[in-house]
Structure 1
Amino acid sequence: MSVMDSGLWQVLGEVYGFIGNSLLKPMSQTPTVGLDPEFWDGFPRLFDNERVDAALTKLKAYAETAADMDEAKAVERVAVEYTRLFIGPPSPAAPPWETMSRADGVSVGFGEATFQMKAILREAGLELSNENNQYEDHMGIELLYLSEMCRRIAAGEPSVPDAGELGAFVEEHPLSWIETLRGRVESERADGYYAGLLELAQGVLEWHEGQLAEQ
């Protein structure tokens, strides 16, 4: 399918998986490696993208500050930020669903983007366990879909989208609205953990789209 070798596809899938999972649950329910400066020092430097570089600098700086705190308090700070941004109350400051980012003033989920993502997941043989009652057009789920497609490509499985289809998904789904989501996050917590994480996600998506366009 691609000039990208299996090792690169594998790493890309792991990156999408880490970010996707980090957006689906607060850090109190996920690994806390993002608070370790060495984690960001060792982050794959395979993406030739200035936005990725800037995001990694911010995330390492955030982790260095967190390292000076009691670990439980540092995790709690990120979990509180997550709740304010993506859950509420009274409502999420930065709704993490595509439906609510496609147009201004949309305050109800489960729209056309949700149906599109349901169909995409079903076609790939994926089923949402939905233990957190999330809509399928959650940014974390869109990134986890990409993670699984990258894993399948790395493993040489036959039933994967071709470069054009995968590029269209990146462009039409996560990349089409991550700027809006980032803007809402930054307006609330520009110096927070998730502003850096979403900037990283956007940079990786932009890099990936460019790679797919060349194939």
Structure 2
Amino acid sequence: MFEKLMTNSKLARISELRAIARILHNVFFYEPTTENLHLLEQIIITDEWPQLANSEEAQQGLTLLRAWATSPESQKALKLEFGRLFYGPHAPTSAPWGSVYTDEQHLLNGVTTQALMRFFTATGISFQLDSNQPLDHVGLIFAALDVLLERMEQDETNTLVKHQLIELLEVHLQPWVSLFLDSVIEHSNTDLYKGFAYISKSYIETLNSFLAVA
């Protein structure tokens, strides 16, 4: 009975971590839509956000998101902010691609991008993209975390998936993601994106802690 309760608790935690990865994928990868913004407001206002690591980043993020949910910026303002931070038309203030931070010349599709592409091929992860998007986009890496956590949810004893999750975090995300998230915190004019940058920091810490004991 105790073992069954522990398994159910672990599966519930995996499900929560998957849900957060999916939200972060949508927040950082897609322009905000009316539907998505409404869903985020409901999650935040009703305190349905899963428990993250008890850290300063988590508290800062939730405080900002609650402030946004009670007085949200317009969709137009958030679309402009999304473009300014992540795409342009001028150079984005917070480029979401890993190689911008890891490449000596800050170029897209650098050596680390190629390594991540090989990882995706080896793990059978693929994306149907509408544009020629470098695969080391932070939003796509959150999507890959969602895929791997779904596989763990289907079989929590699968040590290969656990090792793939650890590799994705330690090799392909953590060497640069703090630089990206710190840039979002510094340059964002909205509580929404600044809040999710803090939440992302806490989420990565939480996922690392979970995998250490899973």
Which consecutive segments of 4 or more residues in structure 1 shift more than 6 A? 157-160
Q: Does 1:54 align with 2:53?
A: no
C-alpha distance in structure 2 between counterparts of 1:109 and 1:137, whole Å: 9
Counterpart in the other structure of 1:94? 94
Counterpart in the other structure of 1:63? 69
Tell me by how many angstroms 1:147 deviates.
0.6
Tell me by how many angstroms 1:111 deviates.
0.6
C-alpha distance in structure 2 between counterparts of 1:24 and 1:32, whole Å: 14
Retained in 2: the 8 A contact 1:143–1:174? no
C-alpha distance in structure 2 between counterparts of 1:183 and 1:175, whole Å: 13
Tell me by how many angstroms 1:104 deviates.
6.7
C-alpha distance in structure 1 between counterparts of 2:81 and 2:23, whole Å: 18
C-alpha distance in structure 2 between counterparts of 1:78 and 1:104, whole Å: 32
Structure 1 residue runs without a partner (length 5+): none
C-alpha distance in structure 1 between counterparts of 2:10 and 2:68, whole Å: 33
Q: Tell me the TM-score normalized by structure 2.
A: 0.85
**For each residue in 1:49-92, what CA deviation from the matched residue of structure 2 results, as whole angstroms up to 9, or x when unmatched?**
322232111111112121xx6xxxx1111111000011102111
**Quick one: which amino acid aligns to residue 212 of structure 1?**
L
Retained in 1: the 8 A contact 2:184–2:194? yes
**For each residue in 1:10-39, what CA deviation from the matched residue of structure 2 results, as whole angstroms up to 9, or x when unmatched?**
121111011112211110386113652x42
CA RMSD in angstroms comes to: 2.5
Q: Does 1:11 align with 2:11?
A: no
C-alpha distance in structure 2 between counterparts of 1:91 and 1:156, whole Å: 43
Counterpart in the other structure of 2:36? 31
Tell me by how many angstroms 1:158 deviates.
7.9
Q: 1:178 to 1:13 in 2, by over 3 A?
A: same
Number of residue pairs the alignment of both structures matches? 206
Q: How does 1:8-157 map to 2 (within 5 A)?
A: 8-28=13-33, 31-33=36-38, 36=41, 38-40=42-44, 41-50=46-55, 51-66=57-72, 74-102=74-102, 106=106, 108-156=107-155
C-alpha distance in structure 2 between counterparts of 1:201 and 1:138, whole Å: 14
Q: 1:13 to 1:183 in 2, by over 3 A?
A: same
Structure 2 residue runs without a partner (length 5+): 1-5
Q: Tell me the TM-score normalized by structure 1.
A: 0.84
Q: 1:207 to 1:157 in 2, by over 3 A?
A: closer
Greater CA drift, 197-206 or 38-47? 38-47
Retained in 1: the 8 A contact 2:61–2:199? yes
Q: Which of the two has greater helix per residue? A: 2
C-alpha distance in structure 2 between counterparts of 1:119 and 1:146, whole Å: 16
C-alpha distance in structure 1 between counterparts of 2:110 and 2:34, whole Å: 28
**For each residue in 1:148-197, what CA deviation from the matched residue of structure 2 results, as whole angstroms up to 9, or x when unmatched?**
11111112288773434422321222232221112222222254421211
Percentage of pairs with the same residue:
19
Q: 1:157 to 1:183 in 2, by over 3 A?
A: closer
Q: 1:209 to 1:158 in 2, by over 3 A?
A: closer
Counterpart in the other structure of 2:181? 182
SS state of the match for residue 161, structure 1?
helix
